[in-house]
Structure 1
Amino acid sequence: MEDLKEELRELAEEVAKSLGFSVYDFSFSRRGRKRLLKVTIDKLEGYVSIKDCEAFSSSFGKTLDTADIVPFPYDLVVESPGVERALRNMGEFIRFTGEKVKIVFNEPVNGNSTLSGKILSCEGNKIVVESADNQMEVVISFENVKRANLKL
């Protein structure tokens, strides 16, 4: 099953790349008698639209039908990371500099376990956020980020 999952992920990445997208997340799990193949796509410029999801779904669906490597029924779900997407690495923090974010810390910063504000800059493993509460600049080490996501 892991070999099939890896092969499906590779196919998804090939199709995504050919359409100008990347695979943000991928899962292949059991749902009753069927399997659920869920692919979250992303693109570097702007946000993923419904038309983007439809284009990827159509192309990936055809690729899966041609490859004929899934020997059981499955549902294909294609989605975007959403406007309040998780930020999982420094590259994503850099990409979304200037945007609003909520960060949950591993260890409290200035006595707080969370911080909401605007990403001002990123350098090395440091993230500078302007706090929404008091407009003070807070410097955070990426290693102290438990989880983070964009906020509207």
Structure 2
Amino acid sequence: MSTTQSDRLRELLEPLVGAAGLDLEEIDISRAGRRRQLRIIVDSEEGATLDACAELSRAVSAKLDETDAMGEGEYVLEVSSPGADRPLTEHRHYTRAVGRLVRFQLNEEGGELVARIRAVDGEGLDLEVPGVKGRKPKAHRIAFADIARARVEIEFNRKAAEPEPASGTAGTDIEIDTEIDTDKKEEEA
């Protein structure tokens, strides 16, 4: 039975990732010119912080240096958390998305459904389908077997009264300085 380089890397790195309190979501090896690029995607219930990714990157780099898992050639290592638009494929992904709006592609010509995840169990999801044109939202149940694809929708205008999902990144508040330096503007005039 042959194993791929990704499988061998997963076996090697999963204990390191687990020891850091993270889940190994994906390993991707690709070409970037003459070099190879090794992308490792990690996550956790609380999310993977920048500091956790940096610390894990150092540990992974040391482990790869002491083994021949990447071979002799040069490679670039990237350790990161999944993006906001990553597909939901595992039970834990749906659990982490409770409270979020998700776009579902359904099996068997079931079409598309956009709904907020309210609860997750072993068989499926309890959803809230937003009301259209002033109508009230409706409860909906969907089985995991009926889902072909699912992806979290990015919401820019989410109302403050709605429950916020748990955030995985500390210190993400951004402050934008819109103050204009009027003295400088007058000097230019």
Category of TM-score, reference length = shorter chain: 0.7 to 0.9
| Distance across 1 between alignment mates of 2:92 and 2:53 | 23
| Distance across 2 between alignment mates of 1:151 and 1:3 | 33
For residue 119 of structure 2, what is the aligned residue in structure 1? 121
Do the aligned partners of 1:29 and 1:36 also contact (CA within 8 Å) in 2? yes
User: Which SS does the other structure have where 1:107 is aligned?
Assistant: coil
Do the aligned partners of 1:86 and 1:149 also contact (CA within 8 Å) in 2? yes
- Return the offset for 1:3: 4.5
User: Larger % of strand: which?
Assistant: 1
- Return the offset for 1:97: 2.3
> Which amino acid is 1:122 matched to?
V
For residue 139 of structure 1, what is the aligned residue in structure 2? 141
| Percent identical | 26
Aligned ranges for residues 2-151 of structure 1 at < 5 Å?
Answer: 2-44=3-45, 46-69=46-69, 70-109=71-110, 113-134=111-132, 135-151=137-153
Distance 1:31 1:105, change over 3 A: same
Q: Relative to structure 2, which stretch is displaced further, 84-93 or 19-28?
A: 84-93
- Give TM-score scaled by structure 1 length: 0.83
User: Which SS does the other structure have where 2:107 is aligned?
Assistant: strand
The total of aligned residue pairs comes to 148
Q: Higher Cα Rg: structure 1 or 2?
A: 2
User: Which SS does the other structure have where 2:84 is aligned?
Assistant: coil
